[in-house]
Structure 1
Amino acid sequence: MAELLLSFLIICAGLMEFGNSVGVDVTSFGAVGDGKTDDSKAFLKAWEEICGASGIQTLQIPNGKNFLLQPLVFKGPCKSTIYVEDTWIKFHGVDNLVFEGSGQIDGRGEPWWNAAKPKDDTNRPTSLAFQSCNNLQARGFTSINSPRNHISISNCIKATVQKVNMIAPDESPNTDGVDIAGSNEIHILDSHIGTGDDCVAINGGCTDIVIKNVECGPGHGLSIGSLGRNGKRETVERVRVQSCTFTRTDNGARIKTWPGGSGYVKDVVYEDITLMETKNPIVIDQYYGCGSNCQEGNSAVEISDVKFIGFRGTSAKEEAIKLECSGVKGCDGIVFDQVNIQSAAQGKETRATCKNARVMCQNTTPFVKC
């Protein structure tokens, strides 16, 4: 179960691709790529070579091979600017990293999903993790069947994930597409994410997040949170979600916070959103995780200045908009404009519910009254 198969189809490696870069081929360090041999040590040896060298370096992974790897951490800082062509692999403290290629990362996650406690994340690896990596670019590849998150970005400044496919069965637990935490200036662009959990999850400590032209489905939608669990203080601000599509997802645009937490979510805009049989198109839930026996507590994560503009499409449920806000803090400055959500069932109508929110609503179906 502690193995990851990386199946790469790399186009044009090395000097031709990156000009003055110096190429280091993992096979020259003993990697076999037959899908059976453990190539972990060879990958680490190749990494040490390029990390310690000067100039622009390229980690080359040859065409048409399947590399079997144990969980790996590629550590920085490095002397060089590094390109990785087309991870159970973590990049830590590596700045100016370019991770690209037309390859496929197969996480073989089914043994973890079917474990006795499938939602216990303690021992389930993320396929590709970037930690404390500034000025990151990740693009062009496909990640399938991750045991847990497909891509994690934590404590990074300036990262772009573009033209990436992330795929897992809709019943696979906690297989988020992109999970972002403690990071600033992160862009998720032009990608398809169909998994068993959030397409993108924005956690505490995030600012200036842009998600644009992302096709989401199946999955749990695009979530801010959950935030504030066990009384924790967490903040998220300046999030822009533009020109995205939710197809048969459990949720569309969702913000979720735990009672008793503190901090804030503010300055969030969802704009130009297409819905196709989405079960819960718009959700703000400040009672997340506590069910019917929820205790209000003495504090809550504040939610303010959130705009839903230009939504269109269908809801799989009658309740298309749900604002379940806390009696402690409530939700302030919630705006609906040019929202038209119809029922996916012929002859049915949609409705909105609202609790403890201050709302401005215009040109919206269903109309939100609070």
Structure 2
Amino acid sequence: MVKFFSSLFIFLFISSINLASSYATTTSYNVLRFGAKGNGVADSTQAFAKAWAAACASTESATINVPKGRYLLGYVAFNGDCKSSDITFRIDGTLVAPADYCVLGQADNWLSFEGVSGVSIIGGALDAKGSSLWACKASGTNCPDGATVLHNCLLF
């Protein structure tokens, strides 16, 4: 009987170690706490950049939470050399480009991830407000090339 309880104790001890190690610490960063407004009018670019900087500087897994709403974003680059190799963008809202395509028209990208790995984007929607730029291009007038969302990506 003692052998049974000893074996049971060892099994439970090892199981608890495995269970604890499977729950890695994740730090959450809500863009609202960095000043983002989900009204589709106020520019939230700097708030997103600050949330990224905090997540990138974390030594733990990090999640950037974007609650429901419409978040106006100008050009923003999410640059690497992050301490965390596990960053998740959890987008429950919509990222919206400026209505004036000239704001982004000379940029190569609207949203870019440069020099990073281990980034996941979950959910959300992108509203690049491209209809006015496409109308300009259809008219044959002198229009900017426009910005892209994905840059230097390989699609398989």
Per the alignment, in what secondary structure is the counterpart of residue 150 of structure 2? strand
Per the alignment, in what secondary structure is the counterpart of residue 81 of structure 2? coil
Per-residue deviation, 1:68: 0.5
Q: Name the structure 2 match of 1:76.
A: 80
Q: Name the structure 1 match of 2:63.
A: 58
1:47 partner letter: W
Q: Name the structure 2 match of 1:90.
A: 112
Per-residue deviation, 1:130: 4.8
CA contact (8 A) 1:77 1:95 kept: no
Map 1:1-370 onto structure 2 (within 5 A).
20-62=25-67, 64-80=68-84, 81-86=86-91, 88-101=110-123, 103-116=124-137, 122-126=144-148, 128-131=149-152, 153=153, 180=154, 186-187=155-156
Per the alignment, in what secondary structure is the counterpart of residue 95 of structure 1? coil
Post-superposition CA distance 1:161-217 (Å, at most 9, x none)? xxxxxxxxxxxxxxxxxxx4xxxxx53xxxxxxxxxxxxxxxxxxxxxxxxxxxxxx
1:111 partner letter: S
Per-residue deviation, 1:89: 0.8
| Counterpart Cα distance in 2 of 1:59 and 1:105 | 16
| Counterpart Cα distance in 1 of 2:45 and 2:139 | 26
Per-residue deviation, 1:129: 2.0
CA contact (8 A) 2:44 2:73 kept: yes
| Counterpart Cα distance in 2 of 1:79 and 1:118 | 47
CA contact (8 A) 2:56 2:83 kept: yes
Per the alignment, in what secondary structure is the counterpart of residue 41 of structure 2? strand
Q: Name the structure 1 match of 2:7.
A: none
Per-residue deviation, 1:123: 3.6
Per the alignment, in what secondary structure is the counterpart of residue 129 of structure 1? coil
The sequence identity of aligned pairs, in percent, is 29
* Closer, same or farther: CA 124–21 of 1 in aligned 2, 3 Å: same
Which has a greater percent of helix?
Answer: 2
Per the alignment, in what secondary structure is the counterpart of residue 124 of structure 1? coil
| Counterpart Cα distance in 2 of 1:38 and 1:118 | 30
Q: Which runs of 4+ in 1 moved over 6 A?
A: 117-121
TM-score between both structures, scaled by the size of structure 2: 0.65
Which has a greater percent of strand?
Answer: 1
Post-superposition CA distance 1:302-344 (Å, at most 9, x none)? xxxxxxxxxxxxxxxxxxxxxxxxxxxxxxxxxxxxxxxxxxx
Per the alignment, in what secondary structure is the counterpart of residue 112 of structure 2? strand
Q: Name the structure 2 match of 1:287.
A: none
| Counterpart Cα distance in 1 of 2:43 and 2:27 | 25
TM-score between both structures, scaled by the size of structure 1: 0.29
| Counterpart Cα distance in 2 of 1:118 and 1:105 | 25
1:61 partner letter: V
Higher relative contact order (CA 8 A, sep 6+): 2
